[in-house]
Amino acid sequence: MKKHLLFLLAACTIASCDTDSESVAETNADSFNRKALLEHTADNIIIPAYQDLAADLATLENSVTAFTANPDNNSLLTARTAFFEAYLTWQYVEMFNIGKAEEILYAFQMNIYPTNITDIQNNITAGSYNLSSPNNNDAVGFPAVEYMLYGKADTDAAIVAIYSNGTQAAGSKTYLNDLVNQMQGLTTTVLNDWTGSYRNSFVNSTGNSATSAINQLINDYIFYFEKGLRANKIGIPAGVFSNGALTTHVESYYNPAQSKELAKKGLQASVDFFNGTSYNDAPAGESFANYARTLRTNANSSDLTLAINNQMESAKTKLATLNPNFREQIAADNSQMTLTYDEMQRVVVLLKVDLLQTLNINVDYVDSDGD
């Protein structure tokens, strides 16, 4: 009897070896090149965006140094221009909370808003602070710099006055410079890791496990779209999760005239990443849009990529109708904000439900047996 069983096992093993050797060439044809997706994402999207951000922050550092050395209306405006340029570029990297960025809690130190002006003021008064402490997450990064450049007083002249002859002029100058240096340091750390060893381990991590780069990348992306974009930029200030609007939660609160610009960039960055549009001049490459299309075609399912792109387009169209100043939009007609949120929510459904089902990736948050 044992012989029967052994024979059976042996037969099956031989059979599977047989089919294996003759079919490898054939199989590669219909499976997707995940490594190419990761290479394109690393080389033409993530690394160029970080390089751009690093350059923008260097410009910002120069202009902030110039401003604090010689505070006047001109140097303030130059610093603001450099600041907003960097803030726009930031919108392209926030979603990549992976590798070193995840390890050092990069995003928590770059863009937590609303910023806490009490903490900022206390830091300036104390004169000594640890900017990387979690307690200071809401007193550093872009929102803090924005407050320092736009929000310290009601008029530009009054802001310049604070830095030139205010009682805490020296402390404010130091804090502003420290903030920018801190952002530069963090960004350099992340960028160096990418251009160093991380890029190679990233592009080769194509497995379907909770910790593989390809799965983490798409999880981070969807998380960003749902939280960083849909909720933080639109939903929370519009008050969809609370009783009434929370205007103070608008991103770019102290520079509200450009608040919509940031949301538009965040949405554009999301569209670009999904479709593999390069951040640099390279042509578009492998993307999750292609990946989903390949899998759905193989499974004879409807075109999800098209559905996602159409819905992203609807969200863009709705967003474009809003007042560039979200504080004004919320005060005048908050329902337009809510409608924009609803369009983005529809994208979230397509990403979290349809795309994740199509990719059938191992999600990082569920750990238990299945049937």
* Under rule CB under 8 A, residue 284 binds another protein: no
Q: Does 12 bind another protein (CB under 8 A)?
A: yes
Distance, in Å, from the CA atom of 131 to the CA atom of 180, rounded to the nearest integer, reads 11
- In the structure encoding, which two tokens stand for residue 313, read together? 């387009």
Among 127, 134, 196, 207, binds another protein (CB under 8 A): 207
Residue of 115, 258, 277, 358 interacting with another protein (CB under 8 A) = 358
Among 8, 15, 157, 331, binds another protein (CB under 8 A): 8
Tell me which amino acid residue 15 is.
A
Which candidate, 84, 79, 85, 51, places its Cα nearest to that of 67? Answer: 79
Instruction: State phi, psi for 182 to the nearest 5 degrees.
Output: -60, -45
Give the x-and-dash track for 287-316 against another protein (CB under 8 A).
Answer: --------xx-xxxxx-x--x---------
Question: Which secondary structure element, helix H or strand E, spans residue 193, and what is its range?
Answer: helix 169-193
Contact 353, 286 (CB under 8 A): no
For position 208 contacting another protein by CB under 8 A, the verdict is yes
3-class DSSP state of 24: helix
**Looking up tokens 């640890």, which residue turns up?**
130
How far apart, in whole angstroms, are the C-alpha atoms of residue 179 and residue 189? 16
User: With left for phi above 0 and alpha for psi between -120 and 50, is residue 12 left, alpha or beta?
Assistant: alpha
- 4 near another protein, rule: CB under 8 A: yes
Residues 128, 130, 243, 335: which binds another protein (CB under 8 A)?
243
Please select the residue that binds another protein; options are 118, 242, 248, 317, rule is CB under 8 A. 242
Determine if 9 is a binding residue for another protein (CB under 8 A): yes
List of residues contacting another protein (CB under 8 A): 1, 4-5, 8-9, 12, 16, 19-20, 23-24, 26-28, 30-31, 34, 206-209, 212, 235, 239-243, 295-296, 298-302, 304, 307, 345, 348-350, 352-354, 356-361, 363, 365-371
